Every structure is written in C-alpha cells, then in structure tokens.
C-alpha cells in the first residue's frame, strides 16, 4: 500500500511525499521510491503561485503529472491477476457459445437434410401398424395422416365432423391403399367422449398417436376480449384432449414395449406471447407434458416427441394472407408434414421444419423483451387484417 507521508525536509518547501510500491520486488517495505506531489496543486482552493518562480512551478506541475501516471500504472499492474481471470471467463463463455452454435447447426443438418438423403425408416416395424390422428380432417392433422399412410400405416381419424371424416378416410384409403377407420368425437363436449374413444381403440395395436386437435383464437386478441367459450375450449381441447388420449393408448404401448406419441404444440410456447396468452400457455403445457413423458417412458421403449411448429399455411394458424408470401417460412401442411414425419424417432423436441428450426434458435437466444416486441407487432397486424376481412 502506498504510504502517504508528511512534508519532507529534503525537498522543496511546499512539496509532500509518499512512498510507492516497487512491484518488481514483492517486498514493499524494503524497496520503495519517493514521488513528489506539489502541495499547492493538491489544494486547488489556494490560488497562490508556486514558490521559486515560473521554472520551479513548471517542474512541480510536471512532477504532479508524472506522479499520477506512475500511480495509475502501478495500480493497473496490481490488477493484472483480475484482468487475466476475466479474460479466462470471457474465453470460456465464447468457446461455450461457439460450441453451442456448432451443435445447433449440426442438429439442423441431421434432422432436416440427412433424412431426405437416406432411405425412410420402417415405421410399422419400429412402432406398429395403426396410427391415431386427432383433428384429422384439416391442416396439419390431415397432412400428417396422409404422410403416415404413404408409409404404409393404417389410420384411425378422429374429429367432430362425420361427413368430412368419411371423405378424408376414403381419400386416404383410395390413394395409399391402407385401412382407415373414423371416430366421431367433439373434444369440447366433456369427459364422456373418451369412453367412446377407449372402446373404439381397445382391440387395435396402436403404434403412433398424433395429438393434433386444438383450438385457436379467431385472431390475436387481448385476454379480456376472448370469449369464455373459447377459453373453456382451449382448456378442454388443447390440454385435456392430449392428456386423456395419451392415457388411453399408452398402456398398450408399454405392454408391447414400443410406440410413439407426437404432440403438436406451437412456436408461441417458446416465450410468453401477448395477444395469444391462453393459447400459448396451453401449448407450453403440451410441450412440457411431452418432454416429461419422454423422461418417464423412454426406458420402456416409448418415443415421445414434442412438435413445435411456427406458422404453417392453414386457415386456422395463419389468418393473415401476407404470411403466404413467404412459403419458405410458412410451408403448406403437406410440405410441413413430410418434413416432420422424417424427424420421428430422431428428435424428442423439434419444430419439424428447417426454417422453423432457424426461427426457434433465434427465439431461444433473443431476450424476452425483444420476443414480446416482435409478437406485439405481428399480432397487431394479424388482428387488423382479420378485422378488415370481417368488415
């Protein structure tokens, strides 16, 4: 430590001295040097001139400058160890982030490009002959059912519109030469429908369950503007339906020691999404539910996948027509399902489509305030366009 001394008798009058550490010695009490600091400079309120005339004043001023520089330099040297520690922390952080980016890029290639270059997996051998798809008459649900049928699986379609169910079932059976069956069920009507579904599925070896049925807002809205009926449907359909469908088919999968459960969540579950509050929260439930099931039943031969799509060109998910101008960002249901099925058995949690995976990475790395800002802008635009179309 520098020892601030008293006025030195061996120096000019009006000068104060202090001792400064010699860092090269590591023995500060034995090796030191004396620096002179003018007293009249240390006390700026005194406006008197330095004794000895202008020449001595200039020398005293130079001594003050030199003394401050030397003091600063010695203090900086004493902090070298801390600077080196901070440099190591920075290097570790940079290396960690670099490795993460490389792994994410490799995962993108492995999931969305390599499977298209190799032969398709035998889903029947891997999981079973029958697949159940809820919400199967439109959008992603129908496209996913058709993609599974193209790989030879028989399909059980579940939806509330019997006429559309029979039409889709006939199209799939005629096109892909597989067996189809339908179950008419309105998931918003309550618990009684699950007894009907359980009875219809009890004699089938279900290999794949696709939880696709869901309820969306008519358009992005603030929470108080959402009707109570819509809120109840979001809870009963988005949350309860997936949970109870898994409860119906999972025991048979565990008994056979093979099976796959695909639950379609949403990119809005990544972070809190304003103007889609209840919907995004319900999809966050599905994401966490699927991931927890994977940890519980992976050892029993069950593969559980959380599918997190961003915008897909369906009537429900993209009310704004301007999104259709970016097909590489907003794929059609058929294109999306083709990519998503190729990730089955490979990734436990994925967006299912390459450009969605890039969006997901950006969402993971961006701060929450930036996500909220962007979501507000997008959802305001979608709401404005939807209201103008209704008018």
* pLDDT score at 72: 73
pLDDT tens sequence across 3-41: 444 444 444 444 444 444 444 444 444 334 444 444 444
pLDDT in tens, 146-199: 999 999 999 999 999 999 999 999 999 999 999 999 999 999 888 889 999 999
Close Cβ partners of 347 (under 8 Å, ≥ 6 residues apart): 107, 111, 305
Tell me the whole-structure pTM to 2 decimals: 0.74
CA distances from 52 to 56, 58, 67, 240, 263 (A): 5, 10, 20, 93, 89
Specify the residue for token string 């097909």: 327
Neighbouring C-alpha atoms within 13 Å toward the C-beta of 3? 12
Q: Where are the domains of the chain?
A: 3-78, 113-390
Distance of CA 47 to the CA centre of its chain: 65
- Beta-carbon contacts of 21 under 8 Å, excluding residues fewer than 6 positions away, are 1, 2, 28, 32, 74, 78
The answer to whether the CB of 279 falls within 8 A of the CB of 379 is no
pLDDT digits (tens, 9 = 90+) for 190-239: 888 999 999 999 889 999 999 999 998 888 999 999 999 999 999 999 99
Residue range 113-390 forms a domain whose CATH class is alpha beta
């Amino acid at each position: 430590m520098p020892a601030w001394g008293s006025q030195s008798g061996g120096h000019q009058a009006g000068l104060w001295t202090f001792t400064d550490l010699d860092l090269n010695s590591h023995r500060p009490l034995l090796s030191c040097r004396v620096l002179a600091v003018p007293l009249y400079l240390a006390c700026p309120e005194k406006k008197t001139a330095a004794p000895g005339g202008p020449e001595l004043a200039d020398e005293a001023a130079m001594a003050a400058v030199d003394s401050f520089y030397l003091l600063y330099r010695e203090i900086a040297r004493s902090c070298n160890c801390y600077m080196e520690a901070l440099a190591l922390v920075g290097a570790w952080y940079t290396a960690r982030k670099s490795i993460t980016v490389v792994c994410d890029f490799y995962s993108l290639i492995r999931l969305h490009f390599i499977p298209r270059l190799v032969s398709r997996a035998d889903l029947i051998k891997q999981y079973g002959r029958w697949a159940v798809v809820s919400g199967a008459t439109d959008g992603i649900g129908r496209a996913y059912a058709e993609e599974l049928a193209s790989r030879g699986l028989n399909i059980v379609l579940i939806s509330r519109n019997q006429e559309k169910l029979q039409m889709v079932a006939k199209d799939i059976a005629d096109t892909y030469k597989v067996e189809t069956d339908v179950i008419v069920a309105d998931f918003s009507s309550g618990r009684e429908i699950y007894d009907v579904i359980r009875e219809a599925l009890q004699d089938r070896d279900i290999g794949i369950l696709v939880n696709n049925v869901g309820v969306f807002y008519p358009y992005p809205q603030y929470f108080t503007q959402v009707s109570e009926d819509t809120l109840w449907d979001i809870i009963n359909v988005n949350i309860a339906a997936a949970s109870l469908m898994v409860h119906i088919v999972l025991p048979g999968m565990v008994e056979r020691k093979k099976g796959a459960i695909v639950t379609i969540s949403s990119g809005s579950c990544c972070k809190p999404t304003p103007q889609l509050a209840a919907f995004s929260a319900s999809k966050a439930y599905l994401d966490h539910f699927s991931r927890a099931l994977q940890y519980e039943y992976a050892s029993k031969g069950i593969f559980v996948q959380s599918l997190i799509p961003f915008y897909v060109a369906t009537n429900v998910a993209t009310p704004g027509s301007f999104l259709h101008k970016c097909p590489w960002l907003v794929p059609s249901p058929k294109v999306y399902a083709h990519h998503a099925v190729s990730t089955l058995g490979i990734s436990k949690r994925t967006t299912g489509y390459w450009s969605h995976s890039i969006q997901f990475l950006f969402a993971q790395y961006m701060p929450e305030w930036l996500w909220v800002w962007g979501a507000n802008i997008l959802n305001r635009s979608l709401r404005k366009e939807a209201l103008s179309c209704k008018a």
